[in-house]
Amino acid sequence: MSTTILIIFFSYLLGCFTTGYYLVRVVNGQDIRAIASGNAGSRNVGRLLGARGFILTFLGDAGKGLLCVYLAHRLGGGQMLATAALLAATAGHIWPLQLRFKGGKGFATFGGGLLLLYPQLLLLGLALCAVLYPLLRRTTGTGLVVLAITPALQVIVHLSGTLPLSGQEFGLYCLLVLLVLFAHRDNIRQEFKIFSVQE
């Protein structure tokens, strides 16, 4: 089995460790997926366990993305392999094998990996969130809008000469963005419904 396959397989398994699910199980024996929004991410855990639960879940999920990108680079893989590893970890978080493919939505895992994979893109995205939030007044809606346009931001940064980028890397990154957006499809429907009502 090649190093590439091992890294991708390990990244998926790492992603399957859904922090919020196990944290809530340890603390009170409940299944976080059966509570409130039914999501295993940090926001839903925070509703049950408070700020500490939110922070621990966010750090655990973001750490998975960060670790898989770090290992891909450390083991000699370039940006292409690191992007594939982050894609695998995010997929594992959304569809964890041991939890019957019902996990979180992947935003924290994606963001953690982006910190090492494309730090310029992450900073641009955060800056854009700060600009758009006063207009949209919704955290989730703002994050999803910015996520959806990060491929365009990536092209802009590449054309500025500060980000080497191959067509294959860009394709994988777009797939990663689509994966996270798909996991948030219910949120997207809700956000568009709210905007249409406001109009």
Amino acid present at 67: L
Read off φ and ψ for residue 120, nearest 5 degrees: -65, -40
Residue-level pLDDT at 192: 67
- Is residue 96 located within the same domain as residue 126? no
Q: Is the pLDDT confidence value at 63 over 80? A: yes
Residue-level pLDDT at 1: 54
- Is residue 103 located within the same domain as residue 19? yes
- Which pTM value belongs to this model? 0.90
Burial class (CB in 10 A: 0-12, 13-18, 19+), 153: middle
Considering its fold, how many domains does the chain have in total?
A: 2
What percent of the chain clears pLDDT 70, i.e. is strictly above it? 95
Average pLDDT over residues 123-144: 90
Q: Is the pLDDT confidence value at 176 over 70? A: yes
Residue-level pLDDT at 141: 86
Domain membership of residue 141 as a residue range: 118-199
Higher pLDDT residue, 76 or 53?
A: 53
Q: Reduced to 3 states, what is the DSSP secondary structure of residue 106?
A: coil
Q: Is the pLDDT confidence value at 179 over 90? A: yes
- Is residue 94 located within the same domain as residue 156? no
**Alpha-carbon span 73 to 96, nearest angstrom:** 24
**What's the sign of the alpha-carbon dihedral 17, 124, 8, 68?**
negative
Could you count the other beta carbons within 10 Å of the beta carbon of residue 114? 24
Average pLDDT over residues 171-196: 85
- Is residue 109 located within the same domain as residue 123? no
**Alpha-carbon span 110 to 118, nearest angstrom:** 11
Say which DSSP state 83 is in: H
Residue 30, token pair as written in the block: 């409940």
Domain final residue, candidates 89, 113, 137: 113
Average pLDDT over residues 30-38: 87
